[in-house]
A and B are shown apart, each in its own frame.
Chain A
Amino acid sequence: GAGVSQSPSNKVTEKGKDVELRCDPISGHTALYWYRQRLGQGLEFLIYFQGNSAPDKSGLPSDRFSAERTGESVSTLTIQRTQQEDSAVYLCASILIGAVKETQYFGPGTRLLVL
């Protein structure tokens, strides 16, 4: 597609349930990032994938959070046993490293509300 897409756009879940968020990066982009934006806050880095390298998971807030990426395509962020403090907008971004215009392009985000 023309840009980064994410699904679902909105997700309401009950505390304790698991959720899975999906990101479709721009085709051919070599690196993919997940960020979290809590209400009134800046974006927090969660995890980073580049090519076949081991992902940088240094931003994941707890072991309830995990993410996978298949090759240089779709990524899924999974939150297990959701808590109310997980409520946030989850943003995905991709970048073509080595391109003339190396810029992260962001998806529209998934707004997660944990009741």
Chain B
Amino acid sequence: GNSVTQMEGPVTLSEEAFLTINCTYTATGYPSLFWYVQYPGEGLQLLLKATKADDKGSNKGFEATYRKETTSFHLEKGSVQVSDSAVYFCALSDTSYQLTFGKGTKLSVIP
């Protein structure tokens, strides 16, 4: 079956630090890959997505590249802000569009 593994949190960074949250997946076929973000007290929001190998998703300064050879979709941001503090979920979807999520990584950015 499908599965997503992402790095355990929590992650605490200083403002303007570089962020990487690792995500690897197991799937049959060619899934689409996603990063969702859940800000404190808010619902789950799509941050970025990539639908095929070597695609790069980007949004709000975050990037992730679909690497089929390493089955990875690591999330990166060059300079984090306090407002980026949230829980980040890596996910994949198959042909039924059903999402399989990782356990989430809590990011805290301190001034």
**Which A residues contact B (CB, under 8 angstroms)?**
31, 33, 35, 40-45, 48, 50, 56, 91, 93, 95, 97, 102-109
Is there an interface contact between B101 and A56, defined as CB atoms closer than 8 Å?
no
**Contact A102-B97, Cβ < 8 Å, known A42-B103, A42-B104, A43-B89:** yes
Contacts of A40 in B (CB 8 A): 103
Number of interface residues of B (CB under 8 A): 20
Chain A, residue nearest B89 (CB) = A42
For chain B, what secondary structure do more than half of its interface residues adopt (helix, strand, loop), or is it mixed? strand
B44 on the A face (CB < 8 A): yes
**Which B residues contact A (CB, under 8 angstroms)?**
4, 36, 42-46, 49, 89, 91, 93, 96-104
**CB within 8 A of B101: which of A43, A102, A107, A108?**
A43
**Contact A107-B43, Cβ < 8 Å, known A41-B103, A42-B104:** yes
**CB within 8 A of A42: which of B42, B49, B98, B102?**
B102
**CB within 8 A of B43: which of A33, A102, A103, A108?**
A108
Chain A, residue nearest B44 (CB) = A106
Chain A, residue nearest B104 (CB) = A42
Contacts of B99 in A (CB 8 A): 33, 35, 43, 45, 93, 104
* 15 residue pairs bridging A and B, Cβ less than 8 Å apart: A31-B97, A33-B98, A35-B101, A40-B103, A42-B4, A43-B89, A43-B91, A45-B100, A56-B96, A56-B98, A95-B97, A104-B46, A105-B46, A106-B44, A107-B43
CA of A95 to CA of B93 in the docked complex: distance in angstroms? Answer: 12
Is there an interface contact between B89 and A103, defined as CB atoms closer than 8 Å?
no
Is there an interface contact between B102 and A103, defined as CB atoms closer than 8 Å?
no
Task: Tell me, rounded to whole Å, the shortest Cβ–Cβ distance linking B104 to chain A.
Answer: 5
